[in-house]
Structure 1
Amino acid sequence: MRLLRFLAFCLVLVAGLAGTVSAQDAPDYESWEAAARRAEAAVETAQASDAALEQLRGQLAERREEFRAAQQTNSAAIAAVTAQIAALGPKPAEGEEAPETARQRAELNTRLNDLKAPVQRAEVAYSRADALIQQIDRIMRERQATQLLEVSPSPINPVNWPPAVEALVQYVYRTGLDVQENWQKDTRRAVYQRNLPVSVGLLLLAIVLVLRGRHWVELLVTTIQKPSRTAERWLAGFVMSLGQIVLPVVGLILLTLAATLTGLLGTRGDVLMQSIPAGGFAFFAARWLGGRMFPRDEQGEPLLALSPAQRIEGRFHASLLGFVLLLNAPLEAIAAQAEWSPVIVNVLTFPLMVVAAVSMVRLGRLLMRHNRAGAGEGADPDFRARVVALLSRAIIIVPVVGIALASVGYFNAGRALVFPPVATLMLLGLLVVLQKLVQEIYVLFSRNREGVNEALTPVLVGFVLAMASLPLFALIWGARRTDLSEIWDRFTAGFSVGETRISPTDFMTFILVFGLCYLATRLLQSALRSQVLPKTRLDPGGQNAMTAGVGYIGIFAAGLIAVTSAGVDLSALAFVAGALSLGIGFGLQNIVQNFVSGIILLIERPIAIGDWIEVNGQMGYVRDISVRSTRIETFDRTDVIVPNADFVSGTVTNWTRGNLVGRIIVPVGVAYGSDTRQVEQILREVAEAQPMVLLNPAPFVLFKGFGADSVDFEVRAILRDVTSILAVQTEMNHQIYERFNAAGIQIPFAQRDIWLRNPEALHAPVTPPANPGPVAPGPASSATAMLDAGDLPGQEGPGQDGGDGDGDR
């Protein structure tokens, strides 16, 4: 007891030192109090701008993370003190506690409260910061909803068109004036002249890349993929096809750089040129996706079941959507820089929305045609067909609704129903292309193109890609980055099971540790199976049992070590164990019974792999013993799965357990009148002549008795290999038949004599009555010969089958 207390004291001392060191990094609660008050005031008034609220939220998120880390302060010391208090035992309910124990308990409780104080303070600050963050998120969501439902000037009102056109022309005119003014400045002109060679070179290279780069890449891809349809060529062509996006976008970046180096662009020109690469990326990415979804040639398996004309239409509308995005990017940048009114923005953006909606409707109709072409006649649509059907209808309906809302004045809501579906459709197309990429990689490694559609690995990888794309879909449809970061923080924080918190990090730790332990178990099994056990005296069945036992113990130990490494308190699993025992009591009795029986079979080994056994009327060789059942291969080469409980609770005949020696019994019958001594001598000689029959003990001929048709003998011999019993029996029967023929000994067969009770009835004429009428029951008429049952030739009546021994032979 003293040693335990001394160790606990040392542990408390070390943990206290560690806590002292960690206390130096404690949060600054004074500055936090001032920041929290400012944040509460900003939240209460809700007058700050969106940018200010986002900045404030970021600061609160940093402090919240600091407080979360501070909750682990003194964790080791708290655990040590708690363990020491537990070592003292529970406080007695009745009577007084020993003074020394009471003093120690009071000191430890005081120490525990002191250690928990900074943790509790951090928990309070964390809760306060978290509440402020949630309030800011609520304000931002309310503002977002209000903005969507805001009524603005209608873009289809002709009154609003002249101001919008005038604003666009005015912006272009002022951009030209900025260039003219900069040209008149000597400093700007000097910069232009100095950078002119570089600007011209970049401009020429940009023109070449933008106008011809995509065409060159397309020719290269066609050259690579056209000769043959292989996974290597498809993957090489896929990688090369990315140049259709990279080269033109690089050209646009060079174009922007060339224009900037001239030094002639003003503020407006810089904003316009800097927005072009982003819009160009959207345009060329849309064209690339259109080319992958609607290819020009029909080589390989197309992603969509469409005709060549329909694929041309699909590529056109995909390019048209990209062109809309190309124009929308500089338009948004110009509107923000020029601070255009909502009227101007609505009027200039509405034509782009209409073009996008028309293209979306046409693409939705193409998806419908693909769905109808892929569905069989009269067959129920599968899951993929239903998803495509819903998606095609949504692509058609949602943009149309968006145009209608924008037309009546709900422009923000309408815009949110047009441009996000465009981005969503592009992202869905990218997922389809990536799924095709995964399938080709699978074909490259497996060399099984016919089974790629039925393989599980591409499906799992596709599911992972779909899950990874969910944040992108959320951002497309209006989610803020802070919303995603908040969800991620909640996810990484984990959930609580009792007093234990389980986080994704703990889950990954569990998977990693369990995987390593499982791998080590398999390596140990392999070493035992190939290196250690073959050098022992154990038979193959014992070696398999030993290897299987090591595997079960290793898996159990791997799970235990993984759970402990993940920081899960095993006492929390008591509820799971209770529920499991309840389930066993009701529905898992047979499974557990077979599992325990399998362990008994592996330990006691009454049967082993390769044994010839008979159980429940099934006879064959044991091929596999698992924890639930045993597989028996019968002599007709069929597998019979027998539950292990039948081997423990039932009767099992093992013909080859321990050794292959077994007995054979050959029954023989001879005719009455044969010389029985001669018969016995012949049978003994035939048995002794068999190579498989042991001479010690010698074969024995049993005079079994007198049968109904023969004198019965049995040849009983011991075989050195009982598995050859059928071959030995066949050979003995052949030799017995030959020796009996040579000695004139007959092998009888069953004979029966038929006795007719009144044979004269078969020869008497049968005269039908002149006036037939109903015959009354009674004795047979003299004019009619009635045959009793069994009087017909070849039939026997009761007592006439020779079984009574009266004149039957």
Structure 2
Amino acid sequence: MILHILRVLALALLCAMPVAAQESTAPDYAAWERVASDVQDAVSGAEISDQRLSEMRADIVRWRNQFIGAQSAGSDQIGTLKAQIEALGPAPAEGESEDATIAARRSELNSTLAKLQAPSLAATEAASRADGIIRNIDRLIRERQADKLLRLSPSAANPVNWPAAVSLFRWMGAWIYDETVWRFTRPINWDTLRNNAPLIAGLVLVAAVLLLRGGRWMGRLTEWLLDKTSMRGRELISGVVSFGQVLLPVLGAVLLTLALARTAFFGPIILGFFNLLPWVLFVILMGWWLGGRIFPTRSGMVSALNIAEAGRAEGRFHALMLGLALGLNALLSDWIAPRAQDYLGGSGDVAPEKAAEVAVRADAAISVLSVPLQVFAALILFRMGQLLRRQEGLRRATDDDAAFRYRLLRWLGNALIVISVVAPTLGVIGYVSAANALIWPAVLTLAVVAVLAVLQGFVAEAYELVARHEEHPREGLIPVLAGFVLVLLALPVLALIWGVRVEDLMELWTAFRTGISVGGVRISPGVFLTLAIVFVIGYMATRLLQSALKSSILPKTRIDKGGQNAIVSGTGYVGIFVAALIAISTAGIDLSSLAIVAGALSVGIGFGLQNIVSNFVSGIILLIERPISEGDWIEVGTQQGIVKAISVRSTIIETFDRTDVIVPNADLVSGQVTNWTRGNKTGRLIVPVGVAYGSDTRKIAKTLLEIAESHPLVMMQPEPQCLFVGFGADSLNFEIRAMLSDVNFKMRVLSEMNHQIAERFTAEGVEIPFAQRDIWLRNPETIAPPPRSFGAAQATAGAGDLGTPMPGEGYEKPAHRDAEDSPQLSDNDGAEEGDDR
């Protein structure tokens, strides 16, 4: 099965390559009609083999490629003719006429256009017929595959079928023995051995060293890199070097196979076995190596799948056993099964009357040999599934990325457990093909997941080495994107593993190359690539122009910083828009057919995104009119601060608390905005001051004016003023009104002036009053303690505290009083206010 997968992958890679340019000559439609008719007649019959179906399908695909190439023939001339016809203006409506010269020219152009379009239409029709034939062949092949998959073979649980397997091994052993003995008796083979003896001896010696010591040497080198060196990237290098533990023994097995083939003592049957041994060894060692990467032996070493340390030894054992099971299945499917019918028939030619009996015996033998191997692999898969399911509970991940990874491992474990139960059950019943279609793709899928995890780890280590990141290299953007790309590349491989044919993948690739139609516009990979490349070039040119304007050209002009930012931003928007138009035009995308759809969508978008559009338009207005600029001190509603950035949707204001407030541009355009520093930085400062009644007001005004004039940020033109603004409830109120040269320091100047005012008033004995209040109560007797009983009054007679009872005694419940007897406060005659000065 491994060899089949490798062959399929190689064919898929070849098929994925771009198809060579078709010949300029037109297809032979007569020959195509004969081929199409023959294929349709053959497909309608039931005796055609699968191999013949595949060959006919490949022939039809070649014809279809010719037709696809012919569809674009003369496209340039057709486009020119259509442009000329459009230049003549619209055709006259029914009952109308046009100039005779124009009508003759229109008729001539239409006739030429029809002749040029005829080959393209014929190619389109032929390509459509080829597609229909290909779909019929694919349907027939899929039906046959389904029949084979659901075929009921002799059950391996029935002891009657066991002798067939024994007979198979007996015939194979006898055939190999007779063939080998016969070759050893041939003198020419001994002559070949003597002639090739030096080469054979060298190959055997090198193969023995690689098989016996190669893996151990690479293992020691890996341990030395991890333990004895401290260079950066040692884990990546050691991981790559550790793969030598697989390659060197496999290379030794290949050399040994070459040496055995050079002896001429072994026939094609046993040589086929020897040729498969390197692949079987590679599969087994690959399972062992992947197990070591997913379940590391070193304590503290990061696993490729971030597996917990608990259960790693069990995981390595299961990985090795799965590799062994996969290798044995490769021997069974690629060496034993193809020859079973010939061996059980007694020779290479089976008599027709015995063909059915031999086929049943061969099927029984393969079933008896396959089912134990399926059960063995299913047991290992079941334990592996349980191990993967336990990871989520062992790790207890808190971050979303790790939690998602462990959920995937749990789902994978659940799938493995289900397959490990269903597949051997089907195999024991007799559905051996269905069991094989479940169990071995599951094993290969597990191997693909492990390979992807290891490769993603290598990319992460390489990224850490290049970017010099010390923490969490696997969580970086580049490793994550690399892992995503690896998963996309693995999808065709997984599809092939689970039985998808190469032809099906090729149909998807053809449809992808042809493109999809969206609103009458066909988007193909070539069109998309052209669009992306041209747009990226235009975008880069726009950014380069913006950088030149911002750093070299605009700073040398007298335009302020806000105007420079507006020019740079506007250049960016215009450049991106122009780059998009050029890219669409270069790619040849005609958006006229999407105009109606775009118009309908614009109405819905206009209603749904009206706030965003309003903010966008407001942002453009701000960039053009520039009522505010970066660095301005503005006040919007209850928020004020410094403008940090202006974009097309919103403006960022950094408050004096160092917090960023995002204000929609529509609020700045339609609302009231106070710009404290627009145009100039001057601004007025008002300092309120109150002094006690009885102070010399002239002296106070003179003192305050001296304090204002002495501050360096206070402007003398206009000169500062000190105003006596009124008589307050507690003080005589004055105000210092001064213009500051830099209003950004308003609070500092206010604080400094307050310090100086306090110092001068203290030195000159000026009193700064503070409010006091006297509260007068009406009817204070109403809040006296309630009367007590006569006995209690006697007990407490002479006590200084009339409101405090003696120990052990309490108040009597007071009699009910009317509401008017309760304490009251009144603004007029209950509570009287006064100043205590």
The verdict on a shared fold, with TM-score over 0.5 as the criterion, is yes
- What is residue 95 of structure 1 aligned with on the other side? 96
Alignment of 1:295-694 (within 5 A): 295-303=296-304, 310-331=311-332, 332-337=334-339, 339-340=341-342, 341-375=362-396, 382-452=403-473, 454-575=475-596, 577-694=598-715
Does the C-alpha gap of structure 1 residues 758 and 773 become closer, same or farther in structure 2, counting only changes over 3 Å?
closer
More displaced 10-residue stretch of structure 1: 672-681 or 74-83 = 672-681
Whole-Å separation in 1 of the counterparts to 2:97 and 2:234 = 86
Does the C-alpha gap of structure 1 residues 28 and 669 become closer, same or farther in structure 2, counting only changes over 3 Å?
same
**Structure 2 unaligned spans of 5+:** 1-21, 343-361, 791-811
Does the C-alpha gap of structure 1 residues 71 and 457 become closer, same or farther in structure 2, counting only changes over 3 Å?
same
- Decide whether the 8 Å contact of 1:229 with 1:299 is kept in 2: no
Structure 1 residue corresponding to 2:832, chosen from 781, 800, 803: 800
- What is residue 37 of structure 1 aligned with on the other side? 37
Whole-Å separation in 2 of the counterparts to 1:383 and 1:742 = 73
Whole-Å separation in 1 of the counterparts to 2:697 and 2:734 = 9
Whole-Å separation in 2 of the counterparts to 1:324 and 1:584 = 59
Matched letter for residue 90 of structure 2: P
Matched letter for residue 153 of structure 2: S
Does the C-alpha gap of structure 1 residues 399 and 679 become closer, same or farther in structure 2, counting only changes over 3 Å?
closer
Does the C-alpha gap of structure 1 residues 682 and 524 become closer, same or farther in structure 2, counting only changes over 3 Å?
same
- Decide whether the 8 Å contact of 2:772 with 2:836 is kept in 1: no
Whole-Å separation in 1 of the counterparts to 2:524 and 2:67 = 18
Structure 1 residue 177 displacement after superposition? 2.5
Does the C-alpha gap of structure 1 residues 758 and 156 become closer, same or farther in structure 2, counting only changes over 3 Å?
closer
- Decide whether the 8 Å contact of 2:307 with 2:391 is kept in 1: yes
Deviations along 1:115-153, whole A, 9 cap, x unmatched?
110010000110111111111111111111111111222
- What is residue 9 of structure 2 aligned with on the other side? none
- What is residue 123 of structure 1 aligned with on the other side? 124
- What is residue 789 of structure 1 aligned with on the other side? 825
Structure 1 residue 215 displacement after superposition? 1.9
- What is residue 173 of structure 2 aligned with on the other side? 172
Q: Percent identity?
A: 49
Structure 1 residue 477 displacement after superposition? 1.5
Structure 1 residue 342 displacement after superposition? 1.9
Whole-Å separation in 1 of the counterparts to 2:717 and 2:565 = 34
More displaced 10-residue stretch of structure 1: 511-520 or 285-294 = 511-520
Structure 1 residue 403 displacement after superposition? 2.1
**Structure 1 unaligned spans of 5+:** 1-21, 781-785
Does the C-alpha gap of structure 1 residues 390 and 688 become closer, same or farther in structure 2, counting only changes over 3 Å?
closer
Whole-Å separation in 2 of the counterparts to 1:533 and 1:279 = 70
Matched letter for residue 512 of structure 1: I
- What is residue 5 of structure 1 aligned with on the other side? none
- Decide whether the 8 Å contact of 1:306 with 1:369 is kept in 2: no
SS of match in other structure, 1:156? coil
Deviations along 1:551-573, whole A, 9 cap, x unmatched?
22222223223333332223244
Matched letter for residue 25 of structure 1: T
SS of match in other structure, 1:642? strand
Does the C-alpha gap of structure 1 residues 763 and 310 become closer, same or farther in structure 2, counting only changes over 3 Å?
closer
Does the C-alpha gap of structure 1 residues 733 and 200 become closer, same or farther in structure 2, counting only changes over 3 Å?
same
Does the C-alpha gap of structure 1 residues 606 and 181 become closer, same or farther in structure 2, counting only changes over 3 Å?
same
- What is residue 742 of structure 2 aligned with on the other side? 721
Does the C-alpha gap of structure 1 residues 732 and 294 become closer, same or farther in structure 2, counting only changes over 3 Å?
closer
Whole-Å separation in 2 of the counterparts to 1:23 and 1:339 = 46
- Decide whether the 8 Å contact of 1:800 with 1:808 is kept in 2: no
Structure 1 residue 337 displacement after superposition? 4.2
Structure 1 residue 689 displacement after superposition? 1.4
More displaced 10-residue stretch of structure 1: 656-665 or 268-277 = 268-277
RMSD of aligned residue pairs (Cα, Å): 3.0
Does the C-alpha gap of structure 1 residues 655 and 798 become closer, same or farther in structure 2, counting only changes over 3 Å?
farther
For this pair of structures, how many residues does the alignment match?
773
Whole-Å separation in 2 of the counterparts to 1:765 and 1:681 = 58
Whole-Å separation in 1 of the counterparts to 2:241 and 2:26 = 54
Whole-Å separation in 2 of the counterparts to 1:342 and 1:429 = 34
Deviations along 1:203-227, whole A, 9 cap, x unmatched?
2211221232222211211111234
- Decide whether the 8 Å contact of 2:254 with 2:278 is kept in 1: yes
- Decide whether the 8 Å contact of 1:594 with 1:643 is kept in 2: yes
More displaced 10-residue stretch of structure 1: 476-485 or 167-176 = 167-176
Whole-Å separation in 1 of the counterparts to 2:287 and 2:745 = 75
SS of match in other structure, 2:196? helix
More displaced 10-residue stretch of structure 1: 620-629 or 341-350 = 341-350
Does the C-alpha gap of structure 1 residues 667 and 365 become closer, same or farther in structure 2, counting only changes over 3 Å?
closer
Matched letter for residue 269 of structure 2: R
Structure 1 residue 441 displacement after superposition? 2.9
Alignment of 1:199-278 (within 5 A): 199-227=200-228, 232-278=233-279
Whole-Å separation in 2 of the counterparts to 1:223 and 1:765 = 96
SS of match in other structure, 1:610? coil
SS of match in other structure, 2:311? helix
More displaced 10-residue stretch of structure 1: 383-392 or 642-651 = 383-392
Does the C-alpha gap of structure 1 residues 96 and 345 become closer, same or farther in structure 2, counting only changes over 3 Å?
same
Deviations along 1:350-369, whole A, 9 cap, x unmatched?
33223222222222232233
Structure 1 residue 438 displacement after superposition? 3.0
Does the C-alpha gap of structure 1 residues 583 and 442 become closer, same or farther in structure 2, counting only changes over 3 Å?
farther
Matched letter for residue 207 of structure 2: A
Does the C-alpha gap of structure 1 residues 577 and 769 become closer, same or farther in structure 2, counting only changes over 3 Å?
farther
Deviations along 1:145-181, whole A, 9 cap, x unmatched?
1111112222333333333223323323322332332
- What is residue 69 of structure 1 aligned with on the other side? 69
- Decide whether the 8 Å contact of 1:375 with 1:385 is kept in 2: no
Structure 1 residue 605 displacement after superposition? 0.9
- Decide whether the 8 Å contact of 2:520 with 2:594 is kept in 1: no
Deviations along 1:663-709, whole A, 9 cap, x unmatched?
22222333444433333332322222111112222222333233333
- Decide whether the 8 Å contact of 1:23 with 1:73 is kept in 2: no
Whole-Å separation in 2 of the counterparts to 1:112 and 1:305 = 65
- Decide whether the 8 Å contact of 2:290 with 2:450 is kept in 1: yes
- What is residue 712 of structure 1 aligned with on the other side? 733
Matched letter for residue 336 of structure 1: P
- Decide whether the 8 Å contact of 2:633 with 2:677 is kept in 1: yes
Matched letter for residue 832 of structure 2: Q
Deviations along 1:570-625, whole A, 9 cap, x unmatched?
32442453344223432212111111111111111111111111111212111111
TM-score (norm. length: structure 2): 0.86
- What is residue 161 of structure 2 aligned with on the other side? 160
Whole-Å separation in 2 of the counterparts to 1:189 and 1:779 = 139
SS of match in other structure, 2:735? strand
SS of match in other structure, 2:488? helix
Corresponding position: 1:132 with 2:133: yes
Whole-Å separation in 1 of the counterparts to 2:204 and 2:816 = 126
Matched letter for residue 72 of structure 1: S
- What is residue 808 of structure 2 aligned with on the other side? none
Does the C-alpha gap of structure 1 residues 674 and 157 become closer, same or farther in structure 2, counting only changes over 3 Å?
closer
Does the C-alpha gap of structure 1 residues 567 and 443 become closer, same or farther in structure 2, counting only changes over 3 Å?
same
Deviations along 1:730-776, whole A, 9 cap, x unmatched?
222333333344444443443445455567x5999975698988647
